[in-house]
Chains A and B, each alone.
Chain A
Amino acid sequence: MTRIYKHRLFWPAIALLALLLACTIKRPDILGISVLDGHLFGAPIDILRNSSPLLLVAVGMTLVIATRGIDLSVGATVAISGAVALTFIASSANPGSAGTAVGAVIVALGLCLILGAFNGVLVANFGIQPIVATLILMTAGRGVAMLITNGQITTVNSAPFSKLASGYVLGLPVAAIIAYGVFAVVALVVRRTALGMLLEAVGINPEASRLSGVKSRTLVFTVYVLCGLLSGLAGLIFAGNTMAADANNAGLFIELDAILAVVIGGTSLAGGKFNLAGTMIGVLIITTLSLAVTVLGVSPLVTSLFKAIVVIAVTLMMSTRLRAMLGSLRERRRYQEVGA
């Protein structure tokens, strides 16, 4: 029992359950799933689907943070990806065809790969501090996206492309299948090969790991490229969700949400040990929080405050030092009682 209690994912998991419980109390049948037009429908499915872009970004962010880095440019990459894809579709001769949609996806992901490589080169080859290196793209990226969309919100109609975000396969949302599929593949690759260990080694001590033969530069470069690519994928889902490329608002502050998800999941910002499962729980907490705001009827005026309170509660619960302090307080009281 105490071992479960001490597991580092115990408290985040409790927080997630508490949020779901709060929604259930307000509305008992909220977690019900029904079948509708041959696909599953209900709040849990909405949570899975809405969490997809954030999960993709957060997976990339986890690996970057594991190498002692950080990527602030993910939100801008999300915006660029959507802008490129929809502009490509809008300017093609046949917007509704599947070929156009595939072309848009390839072009957008290709560009995001290059953006990730740009970050990677700055950090790995030129040794610029990650927070500064990625700040460049964070600031410039939305401008690039605005340039691509001409400052307008580009809207297109392309049934195949919108399937990315709103479609269903085997009754499950396509977006969720992509995101959770990517999550599974990444988790498998880093945990079943030595890759994960090498990443942690780079994060704990880059110099020592380089001296012991780890190609730390290549590794660091690769995680930034992967982070860019996953953000691009998230951007496609984001754009497909409304079929509108909004350069100002797409993925706004998603970098903060992603970092938050990583931290809630128990990965240290100081690099080293990382926990992908924890990141997933963090992502689910953040997405459920948005749903809870609507279900619980929190006033729009205090929405941010409500979210902040939940987040601080989760992080405080996870703090081992706070728990130790509370523990010693309890001990002391017991001691005093015995003494009296």
Chain B
Amino acid sequence: MKRQTFLRTGLATLSIAAMAAMSACAGSDSSGSEGGGSGSETITIGFSQVGAESGWRAANTKDIQDTLTEENGFKLSFSDAQQKQENQIQALRSYIAQGVDVLAFSPVVETGWDAVLQEAKSANIPVILTDRAVDTTDDTLFASFIGSDFIEEGQRAGDWVVENLDKDLKVVELQGTTGSAPAIDRKEGFGKAIEGTDIEIIDSQTGDFTRAGGKQVMEGFLNSHDDIDLVFAHNDDMGLGAIEAIEAAGKKPGEDIKIVTIDAVKDGMQALVDGKINYIVECNPLLGEDLAEIAKKVVAGESVEKRIVVEDAAFTQDEAAEVLADRTY
């Protein structure tokens, strides 16, 4: 009995020590940021990323972490929401509590942000949205939105299809995460581009922006339709998943079934060069530079533009072969 009590006390002491050690780490972190925020030039910035769901996101994360460095005058607190809105709201609240100078995040979904953004506003912390927008009636809740125009991306993909492929096409669409801005807008843009033509979307299903999702949905499409001419995937990763499903079905991706995607990450570009994808509209993940500039301006109290559209390119197979070696992501 006595021994057991001793053991328990020992374990309890150990766990308290561990907790103390962990909070000590966190403590040193925050004290550093406070020092930076009040006195010197350093800007503390809390960034909540969507997750690590695709190659694009990985490139985006890397760019932000590489740009917002201490040498460039930033103290970055980075958190990964693992594609859950509640994680993101929690992260934002903790950044507000820590009193960061600037909040930045890529919202997982479009709606449901008013409450937490209101809290940020009450605490006088400017909010910068990156990559994805929020759907809110009160646009004083955020300072600026940096990102690509997703409707434009979808439309460019559609325009290329209308101009370069047969006039009469049966298209299946692999949608992104249901309810997310890129999924809604790319679908809309593509739909707008093919409106009034004989190109028809015969089926559309979400693949959640992941390879596994794209592959599984594409298998289902191949089983339920014989006459698919084209796959429009809302990102490269789902397109890459679709390639595997098409190959498993004994067809040639890029020839028997054409593929058009959006993003232009490395694996996608490689598949484009290999002839398995036909056209990719780029969605530029290198937002770090713009974010740094806007953050500096809002902290200095200068006015900033509400909407900053990032320059996107687009690639055919030949164009991709030329630029592949020079791309950083």
Contacts of A42 in B (CB 8 A): 223
Q: A248-B82, A300-B178 are in contact. Are A238 and B212 (CB under 8 A)?
A: yes
A339 adjacent to chain B (CB < 8 Å): no
Contacts of B61 in A (CB 8 A): 151
A26 to B225, CA, bound (A): 11
Q: Is the CB of A50 within 8 A of B52?
A: no
A151, A238, A291, A295: residue with the most chain B Cβ atoms closer than 10 Å:
A151
A300 to B179, CA, bound (A): 10
Q: What residues of chain B have their CB less than 8 Å away from a CB belonging to chain A?
A: 51-55, 58, 61, 80, 82-83, 175, 178, 203-206, 208, 210-212, 215-217, 219-221, 223-224, 237, 240-241, 244, 248-250, 267
Of A3-11, A188-196, A239-247, A268-276, the segment with at least 4 beta carbons within 8 Å of chain B is A239-247
Type the 1/0 row for A248-266, where 1 means its CB is closer than 8 Å to any CB of B: 1110000000000000000
Q: How far is the CB of B133 from chain A (nearest CB, A)?
A: 20
Interchain Cβ contacts under 8 Å between A and B, 22 examples:
A41-B248, A46-B223, A50-B219, A153-B55, A166-B244, A241-B212, A242-B211, A242-B212, A242-B215, A246-B212, A248-B51, A248-B52, A248-B53, A249-B83, A249-B208, A249-B210, A290-B216, A290-B220, A294-B220, A294-B224, A300-B204, A300-B206
A37 adjacent to chain B (CB < 8 Å): yes
Q: A36-B250, A151-B61, A151-B80 are in contact. Are A295 and B223 (CB under 8 A)?
A: yes
Contacts of A213 in B (CB 8 A): none
Q: Can you name the residue of chain B whose Cβ is closest to the Cβ of A32? A: B223
Q: Can you name the residue of chain B whose Cβ is closest to the Cβ of A291? A: B220
Q: Is the CB of B223 within 8 A of A27?
A: yes
Q: Is the CB of A246 within 8 A of B210?
A: yes
A27 to B221, CA, bound (A): 11
Contacts of A241 in B (CB 8 A): 212, 215, 244
Q: Is the CB of A293 within 8 A of B224?
A: no
Q: How far is the CB of A37 from chain B (nearest CB, A)?
A: 6
Q: How far is the CB of B222 from chain A (nearest CB, A)?
A: 9
A50 to B223, CA, bound (A): 14
Q: Is the CB of A153 within 8 A of B52?
A: yes
Q: A242-B212, A248-B51, A248-B83 are in contact. Are A43 and B223 (CB under 8 A)?
A: yes
Q: What residues of chain A have their CB less than 8 Å away from a CB belonging to chain B?
A: 26-27, 30, 36-37, 41-43, 46, 50, 142, 146, 151-153, 155, 166, 238, 241-242, 244, 246-250, 290-291, 293-295, 297, 300-301, 303
Please name 16 further chain A to chain B contacts, defined as beta carbons within 8 Å, in addition to the given A242-B212, A242-B240, sorted by A numbering. Answer: A27-B223, A36-B249, A43-B223, A146-B52, A152-B52, A153-B52, A238-B212, A244-B237, A246-B52, A248-B53, A249-B53, A249-B208, A249-B210, A295-B220, A295-B224, A300-B206
B83, B220, B248: residue with the most chain A Cβ atoms closer than 10 Å:
B220
> Which residue of B178, B217, B249 is within 8 Å of A301 (Cβ)?
B178
Contacts of B54 in A (CB 8 A): 153
Q: Can you name the residue of chain A whose Cβ is closest to the Cβ of B55? A: A153
A246 to B209, CA, bound (A): 12
Q: A50-B216, A290-B216, A294-B205 are in contact. Are A30 and B223 (CB under 8 A)?
A: yes
Q: A30-B224, A152-B52, A166-B244 are in contact. Are A46 and B210 (CB under 8 A)?
A: no
Q: Can you name the residue of chain B whose Cβ is closest to the Cβ of A168? A: B248
Q: Can you name the residue of chain A whose Cβ is closest to the Cβ of B83? A: A248
Q: A153-B52, A155-B267, A248-B83 are in contact. Are A300 and B224 (CB under 8 A)?
A: no
